[in-house]
């Protein structure tokens, strides 16, 4: 028994010490390791495979919107940043700078990109001449660097992977529409691929992207009730187009300044998956992005026909497009159950001599831990259907958990009590920065997004008439 529980015992209790649980899970399931430089992480094959599945799903959606992929340089002349005042102010504290190269001091220091609006804007100003060149929609998959003193794998690291989309349009309406459309795509992706329910909405001035006219975010509730910003879409107006001289000759023969948008999601999404679905046994991965969707564990593998039947089933599942792994290692079945449960594999199949005789397999779902029997013949269809059910049920379960933890607060005490108890808190806001700052100071919660379409009577802080309803939460 001690051996069977070996993995479970190594993970901290999810409710007693969630941060330690998180660290244990990401390390022990081999998603990541710490890099030698503080603030850096190594994404190991099991973690990178999740990222590849995220990329694959997302890239499809971008291309369906007419977005093309390209790649821009890692190094950006520092002078580019000073062209957009708010942008440089916002990013200055996080920028890592190269000052020496080839053994000599550089004439101009070079920033390692924290985001690429400046360099992409510079190139766009060369490429765009007339209205015929618009809209221009380019995305890049890359790494960025924003200096951090602490390391929280997938959540807060100096270097991380992401995609950044940058679009240029002839009119404000078009650019705004694009900003909204990408936010919708992110939401659909989060819900249907990651099984993470998200709340989307506009951010306050304080929380918006440095240099944006408006930022829209999608917020997901983690196991501890804190919010994770899982993606953002920015309407940049003419701020960057003016700074980087993105002009076009319009149909009416006049030169006009364009409008731009940018939008991104990062490897933080992996952190969101872990903290939305994980349980006391470890990871619970949604089938769409799980590196291994189904693991086959032979029982009494040396008995006649078992290993052959397992191999045959693996081949059938593979042919049916299921990402399947046959664990024919020397470890005991109990050890394997724990290992694959901890790694969050959505479905486990057990197949032994008795099952073989009865023409059945035993399927165990990772999300609900329920077991059911299935006919061995034609199991591939059954497993595919089961994976779809798991995917759907995971979203619904996460939605239920979240919806039960959104509360309304009428004053500061209720906001504090709400976030202390791990909730998202809706409260009225007058719209002034002082009230927003006061909430942050007293409760450590920040305004996540406007609760779109909802209204409140009074501001929870000053008691004046509320202009908006805000969703407050402590955040990663």
Q: How far apart are CA 330 and CA 353, in angstroms?
A: 18
Stretch of 58-66, 402-410, 411-419, 426-434 lying at the interface with Zn ion (CB under 5 A) = 426-434
| DSSP annotation string for 443-467 | HS-EEEEE-TT---SB-TTT-SBPS
265, 430, 449, 471: which one contacts Zn ion (CB under 5 A)? 430
Q: How far apart are CA 425 and CA 470, in angstroms?
A: 8
Stretch of 158-166, 276-284, 285-293, 425-433 lying at the interface with Zn ion (CB under 5 A) = 425-433
Cα distances (angstroms) measured from residue 214 to each of 201, 203, 263: 10, 7, 12
Q: In terms of DSSP H, where are the helices of 3-82?
A: 6-10, 18-28, 45-64, 78-81
Cα distances (angstroms) measured from residue 242 to each of 30, 61, 72, 80: 46, 30, 20, 13
If the CB atoms of residues 144 and 435 are measured against Zn ion, the closer one turns out to be: 435
Q: How far apart are CA 343 and CA 350, in angstroms?
A: 17
Q: Which residue has the tokens 């609006």?
A: 117
Query: How near is the Cβ of 76 to Zn ion at its closest, in Å?
Result: 39
Structure tokens at 341: 């449960």
CA atoms lying within 13 Å on the CB side of residue 226:
15
How many residues of this chain bind Zn ion (CB under 5 A)? 5
Stretch of 146-154, 340-348, 368-376, 428-436 lying at the interface with Zn ion (CB under 5 A) = 428-436
Query: How near is the Cβ of 420 to Zn ion at its closest, in Å?
Result: 21
If the CB atoms of residues 335 and 408 are measured against Zn ion, the closer one turns out to be: 408
Query: How near is the Cβ of 400 to Zn ion at its closest, in Å?
Result: 33
112, 459, 469, 473: which one contacts Zn ion (CB under 5 A)? 459
Query: How near is the Cβ of 430 to Zn ion at its closest, in Å?
Result: 3
Stretch of 39-47, 215-223, 300-308, 431-439 lying at the interface with Zn ion (CB under 5 A) = 431-439
Query: How near is the Cβ of 471 to Zn ion at its closest, in Å?
Result: 16
If the CB atoms of residues 451 and 459 are measured against Zn ion, the closer one turns out to be: 459
376-415 footprint of Zn ion as x/- string (CB under 5 A): ----------------------------------------
| Cα 329 from chain centre | 33
* 462: contact with Zn ion by CB under 5 A: yes
Query: How near is the Cβ of 436 to Zn ion at its closest, in Å?
Result: 8
Query: How near is the Cβ of 455 to Zn ion at its closest, in Å?
Result: 15
345, 363, 374, 435: which one contacts Zn ion (CB under 5 A)? 435
Other Cβ atoms within 10 Å of 129 Cβ, number: 13
If the CB atoms of residues 249 and 462 are measured against Zn ion, the closer one turns out to be: 462
Which conformational region is residue 181 in: left (phi greater than 0), alpha (psi within -120 to 50 degrees), or beta? alpha
What is the three-class DSSP state of 468?
strand
461, 469, 471, 473: which one contacts Zn ion (CB under 5 A)? 461
Residues forming contacts to Zn ion in the complex (CB under 5 A) are 430, 435, 459, 461-462
């Amino acid at each position: 028994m001690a051996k069977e529980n070996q993995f479970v015992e190594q993970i901290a209790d999810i409710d007693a010490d969630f941060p330690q649980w998180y660290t244990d899970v990401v390390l022990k399931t081999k998603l990541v390791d710490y890099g030698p430089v503080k603030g850096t992480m190594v994404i190991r094959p099991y973690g990178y495979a999740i990222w590849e599945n995220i990329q694959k799903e997302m890239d499809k959606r971008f291309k369906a919107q007419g977005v093309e992929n390209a790649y821009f340089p890692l190094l950006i002349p520092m002078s580019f940043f000073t062209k957009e005042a708010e942008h440089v102010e916002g990013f200055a504290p996080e920028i890592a700078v190269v000052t020496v190269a080839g053994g000599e001091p550089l004439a101009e220091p070079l920033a390692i990109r924290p985001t690429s609006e400046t360099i992409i804007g510079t190139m766009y100003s060369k490429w765009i001449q007339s209205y015929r060149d618009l809209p221009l929609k380019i995305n890049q998959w890359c790494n960025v660097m924003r200096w951090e003193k602490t390391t929280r794998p997938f959540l807060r690291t100096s270097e991380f992977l992401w995609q950044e989309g940058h679009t240029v349009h002839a009119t404000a309406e078009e650019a705004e529409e694009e900003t909204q459309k990408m936010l919708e795509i992110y939401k659909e992706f989060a819900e249907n691929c990651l099984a993470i329910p998200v709340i989307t909405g506009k951010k306050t001035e304080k929380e918006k992207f440095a240099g944006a006219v408006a930022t829209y975010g999608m917020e997901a509730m983690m196991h501890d009730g804190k919010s994770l910003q899982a993606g953002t879409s920015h309407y940049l107006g003419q701020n960057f187009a003016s700074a980087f001289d993105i002009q076009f000759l319009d149909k009416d023969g006049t030169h006009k300044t364009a409008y731009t948008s940018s939008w991104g999601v990062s490897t933080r999404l992996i952190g969101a998956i872990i903290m939305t679905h994980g349980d006391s046994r470890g990871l619970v991965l949604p089938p769409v992005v799980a590196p291994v969707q189904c693991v086959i564990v032979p029982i009494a593998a040396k008995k006649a026909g078992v290993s052959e039947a397992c191999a045959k089933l693996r081949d059938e599942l593979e042919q049916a497009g299921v990402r399947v792994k046959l664990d024919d290692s020397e470890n005991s079945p109990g050890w394997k159950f724990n290992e694959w449960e901890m790694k969050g594999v959505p479905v486990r199949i057990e197949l032994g001599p008795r099952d073989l005789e009865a023409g059945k397999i035993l399927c165990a779902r990772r999300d609900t831990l329920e077991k059911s029997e299935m006919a061995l013949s034609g199991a591939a269809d059954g497993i595919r259907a089961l994976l779809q059910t798991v995917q759907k049920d995971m979203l619904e379960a996460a939605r239920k958990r979240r919806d039960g933890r959104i509360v309304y607060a009428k004053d500061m005490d209720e906001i504090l009590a709400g976030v202390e108890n791990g909730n998202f808190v809706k409260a009225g806001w007058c719209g002034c920065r002082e009230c927003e700052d006061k909430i942050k100071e007293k409760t450590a919660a920040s305004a996540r997004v406007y609760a779109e379409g909802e209204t409140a009577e009074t501001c929870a802080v000053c008691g004046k008439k509320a202009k908006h309803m805000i969703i407050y939460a402590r955040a990663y």
